[in-house]
Structure 1
């Protein structure tokens, strides 16, 4: 006889320490449409889509219990929930993978997670937990540092994580969803700052409409700059730029310069000094077709290509006063003065797309 708890039944407590439960005021009506309530979204979800920190409705006593972890094995899903009485352990609920359950899901990460500044909380499969991250340990209801990469035994389908200073080995199903806290990357921090600037822009408009146009413009420009800085960071501090090559594929000491007639290549006298004297000018082709631009440049003895070079975010524009401010924009420029031999060559022949 199968002694496992069946759908919705609560099994025996484990030795894990737990969190909290919330009593439902009344049994919520089952609906496929999410309903906002007290900072949470109430909705039906497939039990396979339940996440740690969701509040799942327990059909036994009509209470919401916080989900600690979710394990899926073929057609069976085990949802581990924190107890509501002594809050000192978790217990499993067994469901079928095709079941639908009712949950309260926090509407923002801030409500779902109480991560300190500089950290981010997320849900990951156990096999994807990175070294140095922190995993929510059900034994202590606290985050414990992971020592080393996750080890997966593909024969059994289990993943093992070494947790804490005692390097305690904890077993998970490889596809088990676990709660992970990790340090925010520099790019994530920059994007958070960009989002804050966008909120400043929005709040200014709500308060003063277009009377706050200058501060709104400044917040928008700052947000755009921060997003570009995040992009550069994610790219390892480099970016792809156009470069000039001879017909043998050798990099030519030249930098792309905007002139009164458009962009042109300034051939440098000293390949080790991007600020050295210009010995010649090579105008870019203005042809709309890439093939024609290549043909025109080849007649001059050159081809245009692509290199990866050190990059930084720059701000530029033209004009003065408020009208000039409208032309200001951010862009990713070269951080090496416009030319360096210490670059990664991506292509020695790339005339660009047709336009």
Structure 2
């Protein structure tokens, strides 16, 4: 009901539904109080004691926003109150919300830890076993139809060798960098947990069962493939057998801590079909077999981080500057 009267100067003043105004003010006050309480509950684990100034700031800010909307945009104000109420209701029923999403370990990456799906470069460190090649091995690479060779040697004279595909077969070898400093011809080489979830960040621990995977251009498609163990280690494989491995700490075989990028590891395969379990060792021909009897006899591999895993496995896309090898 509209009430109209003239003030002392004869100017008409309109009082619009004072009962409704009071109700709106009460809603604003109640919503501001609810937001303040919710903020305190969410922040409780980080606050040693009640912070009166924080409460006053949250309350006054919320009330000011809602009152401003109520005056200048009543329709928006009503939607804002409903949205705040929905958010508080979901929070009270266990919905994680933005705050929990930001702090949930499934979505937050720890520093200096290898994660399932990280793009890596696997090399043989200078501390590798004597079975590693002691002279640079020329590795052919075809570029624009021309075959070239490349040999890389470290300052100390020991060749830097990298986990890559033999250009004449699917066998994995530890060879020197290819022309242009390319360290591997395996696209998107990575360590993946066997229960890898593209929507969750999962750290890798020593002792975890993992896949060694890579991508390749198969019939003009970006295809995910496995590294498997047979007589030797093989790339470009599919199927469910012969593809599970375990990373171990060469200094402590019972270690179950997180694997760190750049850390030396030994790699063993799990028994599958007619292939028994064993530890990977680099032969004098640069090929990798599982003939080592234990951790002390195995070759050491260094897992260097190239690109971190991204939710949705976006790290597996091929960007403009990247090459998808066959």
Q: Which has the higher contact order (CA 8 A, sep 6+)?
A: 2
Larger Rg: 2
The structure whose residues are more often helix, as a share, is: 2
TM > 0.5 = no
The structure whose residues are more often strand, as a share, is: 1
Question: TM-score, normalized by length of structure 1?
Answer: 0.23
